């Protein structure tokens, strides 16, 4: 399971059979776009995932909790995320899995949608993923696996 942006890019590249460079462009594009929206004080709503909004704070006199010293805090804006209903339920093992899963039963096996081949119509690699060993970086050839997509 991906835990950093580059893991996420690897995963997307595999699932969609895209060259890694392309997957990277896509992932960067998505988060750049979201950053841009927040910069313009736009709210972001991604159904099933959650929403982001920017909250503005006035300047205030704060205190350094360690030294007790008074410090002036400038006005600032901060992004806030609120988890969506579907994701909240999935994280808590509710919804499609029934009520079985409690917090702590961290790694339930889930059926992974074999959507890797949505653009080629083939579908042979549905189950390679679940028992991938947890070795950090499985050496993946960066350009060995991609069939479909070549940019026009």
Partner 1 sequence: MAKMTKADIIEAVYEKVGGFSKKEAADIVETVFDTIKQTLENGEKIKISGFGNFVVREKKARIGRNPQTGEEITISARRVLTFKPSQVLKNALNGGEPVN
CB-based contacts of 90: which residues, under 8 Å, 6+ apart? 96
Q: How far is the CB of 115 from partner 1 (least distance, A)?
A: 7
101 CB neighbour count, 10 Å cutoff: 16
Report the residue from 45, 60, 85, 142 that binds partner 1 according to the rule CB under 8 A.
45
Report the residue from 115, 123, 128, 140 that binds partner 1 according to the rule CB under 8 A.
115
Q: Which two tokens stand for residue 5?
A: 């942006």
Q: How far is the CB of 117 from partner 1 (least distance, A)?
A: 11
C-beta contacts of 135-143 below 8 A and 24+ residues apart:
140/10, 140/14, 142/20, 143/19, 143/20
Torsion angle defined by CA atoms of residues 1, 25, 123 and 95, in that order, rounded to the nearest 10 degrees: 50
- Crossing angle for the helix pair 5-15 and 20-39, to the nearest 10 degrees: 130
Report the residue from 64, 67, 70, 150 that binds partner 1 according to the rule CB under 8 A.
150
Binding to partner 1 by CB under 8 A, coded x per residue (else -) over 67-96, reads ---------xxxxxx-x--xxx-xxx----
Is residue 49 within the footprint of partner 1 (CB under 8 A)?
yes
Report the residue from 20, 34, 65, 99 that binds partner 1 according to the rule CB under 8 A.
34
- Mark out the alpha helices in 62-122 (DSSP H runs): 85-91
Residues forming the site for partner 1 (CB under 8 A): 1-5, 8, 11-12, 15-16, 22, 25-27, 29-50, 52, 54, 76-81, 83, 86-88, 90-92, 102-104, 106-108, 110, 112-113, 115, 118-119, 149-152
């Amino acid at each position: 399971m991906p835990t950093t942006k580059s893991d996420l890019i690897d995963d997307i590249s595999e699932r969609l059979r895209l060259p890694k460079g392309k997957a990277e462009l896509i992932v960067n594009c998505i988060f750049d776009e979201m950053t841009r929206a927040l910069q313009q004080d736009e709210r972001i709503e991604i159904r099933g995932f959650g929403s982001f909004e920017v909250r503005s704070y006035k300047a205030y006199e704060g205190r350094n909790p360690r030294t007790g010293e008074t410090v002036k805090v400038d006005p600032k804006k901060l992004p806030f995320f609120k988890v969506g209903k579907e994701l909240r339920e999935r994280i808590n093992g509710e919804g499609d899995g029934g009520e079985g899963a409690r917090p702590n039963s961290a790694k339930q096996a889930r059926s992974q949608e074999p959507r890797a081949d949505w653009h080629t119509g083939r579908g042979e690699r549905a189950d390679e993923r679940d028992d991938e060993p947890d070795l950090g970086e499985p050496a993946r050839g960066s350009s060995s696996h991609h069939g479909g997509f070549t940019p026009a």
